Amino acid sequence: MAIASKELRIKAVEAYKTGKFTQQQLADAYCVHYKTIQNWLRADANNEEQVPKKRGCRPRIFTKEEENELILLIRDQPSITLEKIKAKFNKTCNISAIQRTLLRLGITYKKSSWSFREKSERDKNGAS
């Protein structure tokens, strides 16, 4: 199930407050774990807002401007190493994060140089 909306959470809490349903019955009805219902009830009791927590990935290591600079850098210096890229942009991340950024940009490493690859239809559609 997708993340429960604010409205769904409020509806579940109100249904529990009527006394007609147990936490387990509500969990089954809303396709969530009973602990989730308990968390919603606790948040309501503490007068906390019933909003879903933000989900997602860590912020990107490179800004859009830095990504553009990175592309130009690799075109100018195709044999540059990940360590040198890290130093050039003064990043504190692991070099594997830089490698993932390059792959996302369509830049692959072949032997002693970087090359740009065309994204396949599968990559364009977001499939893994």
Burial level of 99, CB count in 10 A (0-12/13-18/19+)? middle
**What is the per-residue pLDDT across 79-108, written as a single tens digit (0 to 9) for each?**
888 999 999 999 999 999 999 999 999 888
On whether the CB atoms of residues 81 and 49 are closer than 8 A, the answer is: no
From first to last of its 128 residues, what are the pLDDT tens digits of the chain? Answer: 678 888 999 999 999 999 999 999 999 999 999 999 999 999 999 998 888 877 777 788 999 999 999 999 998 988 888 999 999 999 999 999 999 999 999 888 765 556 666 555 555 565 54
